[in-house]
Copies of this chain bind each other. A is one copy, B any other.
Amino acid sequence: MLTTQTRSEATAARIIAAAKSLFVARNYSDVTTDMIATAAEITKGGLYHHFASKEDLYLAMMLGDFEDKRRLFEQAVAKPGTCRDRLTQLTRDYLELPHEERELTHLVRRDVNTFSGKERDSLISAYQKALPAQIETIINDGIRDEEVAACDARILAWSFVALVEVVIGQYAEVTLENTEAQLEHVLGLFFGGVSITPKGEPA
């Protein structure tokens, strides 16, 4: 029926998908390889045929996802336009990702202490360095063009990320309903703050 290769790839993909939904829901240590295997409709032996270890699976899952996000962010960095426009574009694309994919982005901050050595480093350099660095680039352009006040761009990038996470609902059971409302909140707050000013609508 299926070729061996196709079948193998499909199984690996099923394992990754199962791992995503489980690791998003619970800490690394609280997800067992049996749980992942069962969710992927395979046995533990089968899982270990595809991945050398639990850590290996976690890293494959994360670095695969990172690559997708890196490409997504790259598009916004490459585009012309104002800093605000590019951040809007990037955020809109990001908010339209499925819930699970967005959750993966901040999994690192929760689980990173579980790892050590180069595994830990690769996670940090992907999600804590490379992705925010792309946002930083856009913000630095904004500073150069005098659209944004001069300030440490890295801190501003992280501030932006934090605001996005708030509207996603990471911080509580607080969520703005639709993507446009979320966008408006983040961009409005980031660029204009909450103060009532004579010239317009903040927040």
Binding site for B on A (CB under 8 A): 25-30, 109-111, 113-114, 128-129, 132, 142, 146-149, 151-152, 154-156, 158-159, 161-163, 165-167, 170-174, 176, 185, 188-196, 201-203
Q: A27-B29, A113-B26, A155-B174 are in contact. Are A190 and B185 (CB under 8 A)?
A: no
Contact B28 A147 (CB under 8 A): no
For the complex, what is the distance from the CA of A165 to the CA of B155, rounded to whole Å?
11
Q: Which 9 A-B pairs have the closest CB atoms?
A: A193-B193, A29-B29, A162-B162, A192-B193, A151-B203, A158-B171, A191-B195, A149-B203, A191-B193
Assembly stoichiometry (copies): 2
Chain B residues within 8 Å of A111, by CB? 27
Q: Can you show 25 pairs from A to B with CB atoms below 8 A apart?
A: A25-B113, A27-B27, A27-B29, A27-B110, A147-B196, A148-B196, A149-B195, A149-B201, A149-B202, A151-B194, A155-B166, A155-B185, A156-B189, A156-B194, A158-B166, A158-B171, A158-B174, A162-B171, A188-B193, A189-B190, A190-B193, A192-B192, A192-B193, A192-B195, A193-B202
